[in-house]
Amino acid sequence: MVSLVLSLLFGIGQVVAGVLLTRHGLLAGRWRRASIFLAMLFGVWFATSGLAELLVSGMEASRQLFGTPGHATFALWRGRADRMLVLVTGGALIAALLYPALVRVRWARRRAPPSRHLR
C-alpha cells in the first residue's frame, strides 16, 4: 500500500510540474523560444503521464481497498491510459519536428513587405 501512495503522490507531482512548465511557456508568448517550446512539450507529457499514473494507481488502490474494479475493467482502462500516453508522445514529437518550420514561416512573414491591394 505504501508504494501505491507514493505512486499517487508521484502522479500529482508530475501533473503539477507539467502544468507549471506549460503555463510558463504560454505566458507572454514565450513559446517562440525553442528551449521554452521544448519545455512546454515536456510539460504536456509530464501532465499526461501524471494523469495516467493517477488513473492506474487510483484504480489499483481502489481494487485493493474495495475489490473493484475487476480485472477486465482495470486492463481496459490501463490500456487506454497507455494509448493516451503514446498519442501524446507522438504528438509532442511531431510538434517538435514542425517547430522549425513554424518559426521560419513567422520569420518570413515579418520580413515580407506589407502587401498593398490595387483598387
Query: Which of these, 59, 53, 87, lies nearest to 72 by C-alpha position?
Result: 59
The pLDDT tens digits of the residues spanning 4-25 come to 899 999 999 999 999 999 999 8
pLDDT digits (tens, 9 = 90+) for 43-65: 999 999 999 999 999 999 999 99
72 vs 31, higher pLDDT:
72
Burial 74-113 (b: 16+ CB within 10 A, else e): beebeeebeeebeebeeebeeeeeebeeeeeeeeeeeeee
**Grid cell at residue 52:** 495516467
Pairwise CA distance, residues 41 & 83, whole Å: 18
